Each structure stands twice: as structure tokens, then as C-alpha cells.
Amino acid sequence: MKPLLINGEWVATASAAENRNPSDLSDVIDLYAHAGVPETQAAMDAAAAAAPGWAATSPQQRFEILNRAADELALRRQEIGTLLSREEGKTLREGLLEAERAANIFRFFAGECVRQTGDLLPSVRPGIDVEVTREPLGVVGIITPWNFPIAIPAWKIAPALCYGNAVVFKPAELVPGCAWVLADILKRAGVPDGVFNLVTGKGSVVGQALLESHLIDGITFTGSQTIGHRVAASCLERLRKVQLEMGGKNPLVVLNDADLDQAVDVAVDGAFFSTGQRCTASSRLIVTEDICGRFIEKLADRCKALTVGNALAEGTEIGPVASADQLETDLRYIEIGRAQGGNLRCGGERLRRETDGYYLQPALFTDTTNDMRINREEVFGPVASVIRVKDYDEALHVANETEFGLCAGICTTSLKHSSHFRKNSKAGMVMVNLPTAGVDYHVPFGGRKGSSFGPREQGRYAAEFFTTVKTGYVRA
Ligand code: UN1
């Protein structure tokens, strides 16, 4: 059994959960500890006790620890990428890139440790100086989803530690493997006992204990809207800081003047890579009239030709769906799409492969309207739909006509339309001639409306959530 990490000790639990490979259900990766409330409490106590000492470490000490973690993540890229693909189901290529991304994130925040700044300015009153500095929040609860098992933990844990916070980390139940490796790396990189704690287990037990404890000063969460709202309500009640990232229904607009081949590539990547299981996935393809027929033809051909298979097999372009529950959700939405009048142009059927897994042929709907449920609700699977529109103005309107606002894309060769779209899209991130998914690690990440709440993640903007500001007045 892979144990919990509490106060620098590996702690086994009475119960454990199996971690199975969605590409091959006969493959059990390992057993992982299932924490109860007492273990979660012990982790929070340890973090609270260790937080002041960590906050007092020098930037150089923190730099060295995070940099060592980055080194090891990079060194073990192959092993971590393979484990990631085995437990989550994205292709090995995607798994390796994600492992690399995690290393880069740690490297970036290692640098940020020694790059922290404040403001020093004259007071409006003579003879007085004002300084504005940032201090750690304290103990941060980190709750992460299954779709980026190493990158999302990295982009929450690295800044938390960089800015001097102690951490209690609760990864998604489906992907304890990468979380465990990361904990092992952090421990060996020299993170002091209690500063970083790993508590694998159920959301209803571990997550709930984090929500209810007065020892937690802030919670950063990525996951579903339903749970996100619960996290927010509980943080609001206790007046504690919260950061939520909850998904999208991201539009990709394709205009008549787009480079057709490029637009099809962008759509295939945005909609279907990582099996469509990205909150940044392009699920609404909003296409203007004159190019629509040709775009659908080409996209459907590409969709049908996508190689769906074992995540670890060479040549696989689309891995399996991550779990039985998610597969059921995907199939249910495909049925809803049909029932509401969408034309299932291709895909959408379960596939058999050599090994028993959750294989699904990417589904493309055409003739859909923006009010259909498949265009309103996040499916989180390889399901995309084409919405045909008259012109750019209608495309922009439809793109913004959603309760989400994470990312929006446009494929066009027109400077006028791309500039207008960048300025008028009601999303937190805008892509021109690029897939909506697949972001850089050194710039802010986050959305508007129902997609996100609280300060942005990643890059220097991460300081906003993981620190609290102090204003000092000094009379000389
Ligand atoms: C990406 O598209 O590169 O859960 C990252 C998600 C997002 C991360 C997307 N928070 O899918």
C-alpha cells in the first residue's frame, strides 16, 4: 500500500483503494491509503505547526528545495509520464509533456522564491514611508481533479510553497499515483516535516474535513461546478480565501477567411486530445456559413481516422475515457445530443480493443443550436458540436452566450476580427489560431463567470491567492 505523508512520516491506513488502468482494467497499478478524519486532522495539525517555521525560511532555502524538486521531476519524466498515462489514460506523449510541464512549473516558482518584491513609497503625509509587502497565507488546502494528475498539483503546490505556506494536499481519488510520486519527490527534495502533507482518500471524508477545519487559511480547488460551489459556500461562511477553477464550455469560432487545414488541426486538438477531458477543451465549434460545409467534411474525416487505443501503445492518438462514470456521462450526453435534434455526424460509439478499457470514438455533432444541453453543460469527454452561424457578429454573440467563461478561440486570417474578438470575448483566456486547450505555465490561468472564482492561478499572478498583503507605515 502507498501510504499518506503526514508530518514527514509515511502513514499506512486500515483501508486502501485500488488504482486501475483505464486502458486495461486487469492492470492494478497499486493500492493507495484511504485517509479518515483522524489522519486528515493530523495532517492539518502538522501543517499548522510547521507553517511559521516555513514562512521564516530564507528565499534561498525555498529556492533550493523547489529547484531540487524540479530537477527530479525532469529526470524522472519518463517514469512519471508513463505512470500518468497508465492511471489517467491520456496518451504517453501527453503524459510525458505533462511531466515536463510539472518540472517547468517547479522551476518557475523556484525562481520566484528569490524574486519576491514589495513596494516602498512616500506617505501622503510628510516624513512617513509606506511599505507594502506580501506574507504567506498560512495553511493551504489543495484539492485537485483527475485530468491533469501532475500539472495541476504542481501549479498549486509549487506557488503555495514558494510563497511560504504549509500544504495539505488532497488529490482526486482516480489518480493517487502521480500525487504519491510528487509527495515522495518533495520529501526527498528537503521540504521540512509537516510543511507538505499528502492525504489520499474520499472527497466526502478528506475534502469535507478540510472544509470544516479552522486550521485551513485558504482552499484552492479545481474540479466540478457542483463541488466548487460547495467549497465556496463553506469558505465564505468561515471568511477564508478561496480559489476555484470549474471548467468550461469553450467556443472555437471558425470564420470564412480561416486557413481551413489549420482550423481543422486546431479543432481536433482542442476538442479531442486528452480524450476531451480538459476544462479548456473546445466543445462548441462556431462556424460561419461559407466555410461550414468544407470544415465539417474535413473535420469528420479526421475524426473518423483518429486512432483510439491503449494510452501506452505507440500510435495511439486518443486514449480511453478515464473512468466508468465518465464514460457513462459521455454516452448519456451523446444520447441527449441526439434526442435534442443534433446530427451525430461521426463517432460516439464504444470501442473494443485488445485490453478491456473505456474506449470511445470521439463524437462530432453537426446541426446543433446553442441552447441544446450538449452546448450548455460541460460533458468533459471527446464530444464536440458544430453550431453554424451567419457571420462574425453572430459568432461572437454565440461564443459569449454561455454561463462559462474560461477560454475562447478564433480561427481567422483577419486582423480586424481577431483583435475585436480578443477584446470582446467574455472569457479569461483568448486564443487566435490556436486550440483553446494547452496553456503556458508562466502566465495567468483562469476564467470568468461560472468557470472560475477568486484570483488567477499560475505565473506571478499566483501570488495573489497564496499571499496576504501587509501595509506598513514608518515615521523616520
Ligand atoms: C491546459 O489546457 O493546458 O482542468 C490546462 C483543466 C484545466 C487545465 C487545462 N484546469 O482541464
Going 109 to 66 to 245 to 336, the CA torsion angle's sign is: positive
Which residue of 90, 148, 252 sits with most ligand 1 atoms within 8 Å of its CB, as the best mutation to test the pocket? 148
- What is the Cα gyration radius of the chain? 23
Cα of 293 from ligand 1 centre, angstroms? 30
For the question of residue 377 being annotated catalytic, the response is: no
Residue range 389-399, pLDDT digits in tens? 999 999 999 99
Q: For the chain, what are the domain ranges?
A: 4-246+442-475, 250-432
Nearest to 323 by CA among 373, 275, 378: 275
Annotated catalytic residue, options 113, 178, 279, 411 = 279
The whole-angstrom separation of Cα 60 and Cα 66 is 10
Looking from the CA of residue 407, the nearest atom of ligand 1 is 2
Amino acid 316: pLDDT: 98
Helix (H) or strand (E) holding 242: strand 241-245
Tens of pLDDT, residue by residue over 111-149, are: 999 999 999 999 999 999 999 999 999 999 999 999 999
The confidence score (pLDDT) of residue 476 equals 82
CATH superfamily assigned to domain 4-246+442-475: Aldehyde Dehydrogenase; Chain A, domain 1 (3.40.605.10)
Q: Which stretches in the chain have pLDDT values below 50?
A: none
Alpha carbon of 404 to those of 72, 210, 419: distances in Å? 37, 27, 21
* Minimum CA distance residue for ligand 1 atom 10: 279
Residue partners of 279: CB distance under 8 A and separation at least 6:
147, 222, 245, 246, 247, 248, 378, 380, 406, 451
Catalytic residue among 39, 87, 98, 245: 245
pLDDT recorded at residue 344: 98
What is the reported pLDDT for 5?
A: 98
Q: What is the pLDDT of residues 246-285, one digit of tens each?
A: 999 999 999 999 999 999 999 999 999 999 999 999 999 9
Neighbour-count burial of 121, counting CB atoms closer than 10 A to its CB (0-12 exposed, 13-18 middle, 19+ buried) = exposed
pLDDT for position 91: 98
In CATH terms, the superfamily for domain 250-432 is: Aldehyde Dehydrogenase; Chain A, domain 2 (3.40.309.10)
Distance 401 CA to ligand 1 centre (A): 21
Q: pTM for this structure?
A: 0.98
Question: In the chain, pLDDT over 70 holds for what percent of residues?
Answer: 100
Which ligand 1 atom is the nearest neighbour of the CA of 281?
2
At 280, the amino acid letter reads T
Helices 77-88, 176-189: inter-axial angle, 10-degree rounding? 150
Catalytic residue at 346? no
